[in-house]
Chain A
Amino acid sequence: MAVGGSFDTFPKLLARNAAQFSSRPAFRHKDLGIWQTWTWAQVAEIVRAYAAGLHRLGLQPGDTIAIVGSNRPKLYWTLMAAQVLRAIPVPVYSDAVADELAHVLAHADVKFVAAQDQEQVDKVFSISDRVPHLHKVVYDEPRGLDDYDHDRLIAIRDVIEDGRAALTASAALGRQIDEFIRQGEGSDISIILYTSGTTGASKGVMLSARGCIDAATDTVRFDRLTDKDVALAYLPLAWVGDHYLNYAQGIVAGFCMACPESSETIEQDRREIGPTFYFAPPRGFEAMLTRVMIRMEDAAAIKRRMFNYFLGIARRYGEQILTGKSVPLSGRLLYAVGRLMVYEPLKNVLGLSRVRVAYTAGEAIGPDLFAFYRSIGLNLKQLYGQTEAFLYVTCQPDGEIYSDTVGPAAPNVDIRIAETGEVQFRSPGMFVGYFKDQAKSAEAMTSDGYVKTGDAGFFDEKTGHLKIIDRAKDVGRLADGTMFAPKYLENKLKFFPNIKEAVVYGDGRDFVCAFLNIDPVAVANWAERNNIAYGSYQELAGHPLVYDMVAKDVAEVNRSLAEEKMLRGAQIRRFLILHKELDADDGELTRTQKVRRGFIAERYAPLITALYDGSREVDISTEVTFEDGRKGVIAARVKIRDVPTIGATQALGRAA
């Protein structure tokens, strides 16, 4: 098996790949409707020429080169060529607005920019006065750039051509490039990845070459990736996930990175390429499932019945069969028929037929969603990671998969839970520091060299896996000291199809209460099936039968909490269903649809009071903003329900 081994920089690994996998595909890209392929030998030659060209343009060791665009072979080669010259590539999100781009480019002191197309070139030039060191911009797609001033603008193709010609003309230049590669050290900064900046200004995470390769080597072994594998490189270049899963693992294992034709063709490209290693965030898998379900609604009755029947079989036996547990012979036979009739054709349509290993991460995944993919035989696993770790902190090994854990520590990663409940780790790929930000770097580390994740979590007793419950700063304590993780509870509630939003309170209180929003589509559907008449959202939300149904869901959440030692005490005692939907226009949600707990508490203060003073119902009037900007007032009488808690052993959950 090919792994990083004694290689400490990517350019050295590239040379190894060119020798070892010379005629194996390294990159594919669909161009003019046809998949073009470049072998490792070709890529190594191109990258060498490209590096020579960039060197002639003045890219020096230690210089930074920004890369702005989507997944294109030429942009990946820019990463490689920069690393050959011991310069530092800085990928930037292609959808970054000019201001964000300016911040990153200026902060990183970039001297070169590699831009995908006219759109990105325009963006770069519009802010070039804020990037004083900017020397040259190279671009991939020439379209529309004909009448631009080409003093500072050069096509990547021309840079490569120029480098190639210069290499032929002068053997000395070739020796110089080889010397750069030879001099490269594991401690070189291999890349700077800027965090997305959702929590404050974006920071440049510096990763070392050795760290990147060691980390990738571990996971390539872990998932047994080889040069026979194929990944669809569709994740944002600037995101640690792409740099790790596709770039680093690709070079270490020698597998093929297939670049989609464009961001709109990903689904089709996935079907055509048939990746064997696949990553998508939970909402990616959810969107895929929704599309399947919608199309099944339109299918003929007999197909629908077959589909539903075999999905039932998959739910019963699929998971066990996938993990190699014992299953009755009849179950095995039925599942085999299901594979033939439903599961394999379905996976084929989704382009997942050949996937050996699939990962999801980034947010909590619904258990039903997770189980669906696993039951049809997709080896979907979870990992937990962050940019500072160069992705992996934990990942689930084959055969130990649970929807509510993120797995045990990844190979060679050392995890501990701090006094405060915060997850801290040391890993082979962990970052060197934030670029030009000593203070923040120091802040992110403990004195004994662990990285603080800012996430709170604990190790599950049953499985030994890590569970992430919330951002550490959001985790609170009940009045008696029991740990209380609002987002963890809210996610559990939201996994029920009837509950759209949940906001839970409990920090500094005696017990936990919840505000709920019903899902209007799901509940309306249910009401129609059950002949329940209602005139408005408000009336439906206050319907006693709806309360009954939701109360069952909440009780279910309590039951699952009772099984967790740490959080057992934080069960939900009382809840109410809000008379209106939480809305970003009213400031109750952020624009990215996250609940603003504090704001909601203030706005609905009478409801909070009522939840904790034992009232059965409470009157409230709320100002709302309509779509057209007008304001109005909604008045309602909101009912409050008590929910039974299970195993009133709160003391166990109390923090020491």
Chain B
Amino acid sequence: MRMPDTGEILLQVEGVSLAFGGVKALRNVSFDIRKGEIRAIIGPNGAGKTSMLNVINGFYHPNHGAITFKGRTRAEMQPFEAARGGIARTFQNVALFKGMSALDNIMAGRTLKMRRGLLWQMLRYGPALAEEIEHRHRVEEIIDFLEIDAIRKVPVARLPYGLQKRVELGRALAMEPDLLLLDEPMAGMNLEEKEDMSRFIIDVNLHYGTTIALIEHDMAVVMDLSHRVVVLDHGVKIADGTPDEVKKNQGVIDAYLGVAH
């Protein structure tokens, strides 16, 4: 399998703990994400996977620990700072602008890249127009890449779930992120949609060289897609390694199948 062996570390999570009142969502979790890899975060329900993702993109602030992204360690960061810094994400429940077309939704992903102010954009004249054309070109490349040209002008509310997920991926890609976080990209999909989505995730990784961290329930998918897997259970990291290593790990097997305590 393709393996960006020991690429430079893009994101380092060190001793992160997160608690909501008495509930300890994450306990002293450390791992890293290397440039160019597909990194999976897996675990049974309530293991703290989404919390981990939310910590990474600044939605939650860890009680302890530090996160180093592109060499910069930070304590507190707002989501928009993460976005500006090059982290894009998709959500477990599709979070698109339902009334807008697929094209407009993906264009929205370019917002942070727009140099002209709101007024210029409203005028849609001169330099603002030139800029919009340039952005549209990038967006059209993504549309072509994700093979959603037929639904370009369709309001996303009218699209089937699998396509909405793809539009959401498109919007995240429009940010040209350094790190792409995917929260259960295949949840609720049928087999064919899962296969399509897997293909797109691999293609994004290969074609754009985007580093991807994803959460996923479907074990088969995870093992096929990712280069390295980190396994969480009850907020604790119980394993970390290649899919093959993780599969053989007794702790993982126990966590998934359950053991008599």
Using a CB–CB distance below 8 Å, which chain A residues touch chain B? 32-34, 143-144, 146, 261-262, 264-265, 268
Contact = CB atoms under 8 A, between A and B. Distances in A.
Nearest to B152: A33
Interface in B11-54: none
Contacts of A33: 136, 140, 143, 149, 152
Interface string B172-206: 00000000000000000000000000000001001
B150 A262 contact: yes
Contacts of A262: 147, 149-150
B137 A265 contact: no
Contacts of B244: none
Nearest to A31: B144
A624 to B, nearest CB: 30
19 contacts: A32-B140, A32-B141, A32-B144, A33-B143, A33-B152, A34-B140, A143-B203, A143-B207, A144-B203, A146-B206, A261-B149, A261-B150, A262-B147, A262-B149, A262-B150, A264-B149, A264-B150, A268-B150, A268-B153
Interface residues of B, number: 15
Contacts of A264: 149-150
A268 B147 CA distance: 16
B141 to A, nearest CB: 6
Interface of B: 136-137, 140-141, 143-145, 147, 149-150, 152-153, 203, 206-207
Interface of B is mostly: helix
B150 A32 contact: no
Contacts of A34: 140
Contacts of B207: 143
Nearest to A264: B150
A429 to B, nearest CB: 35
4 shortest A-B CB distances, which residue pairs?
A264-B150, A32-B140, A33-B140, A265-B150
Contacts of A144: 203
A73 to B, nearest CB: 16
A576 B150 CA distance: 46
Contacts of A261: 149-150
A143 B145 CA distance: 8
A354 B203 CA distance: 41
Contacts of B144: 32
Contacts of A32: 137, 140-141, 143-144
Residue from the set B137, B149, B152, B206 with the largest chain A CB neighbour count within 10 Å: B149
B199 to A, nearest CB: 9
A144 B150 CA distance: 20
Contacts of B152: 33
A261 B151 CA distance: 12
Contacts of A268: 150, 153
Contacts of B136: 33
Nearest to B144: A32
A172 B107 CA distance: 51
A34 B136 CA distance: 11
A268 B140 CA distance: 16
A511 B237 CA distance: 83
A265 B149 contact: yes
Given A144-B203, A265-B149, 18 more contacts: A32-B137, A32-B141, A32-B144, A33-B140, A33-B149, A34-B140, A143-B145, A143-B203, A143-B207, A146-B206, A261-B150, A262-B147, A262-B149, A262-B150, A264-B149, A265-B150, A268-B150, A268-B153
A268 B101 CA distance: 15
Nearest to B141: A32
B146 to A, nearest CB: 11
A74 to B, nearest CB: 16
A202 B143 CA distance: 38
Nearest to B150: A264
A34 B145 CA distance: 15
Nearest to A265: B150
A465 to B, nearest CB: 40
A268 B152 CA distance: 11
Nearest to A32: B140
Residue from the set B144, B145, B206, B207 with the largest chain A CB neighbour count within 10 Å: B144
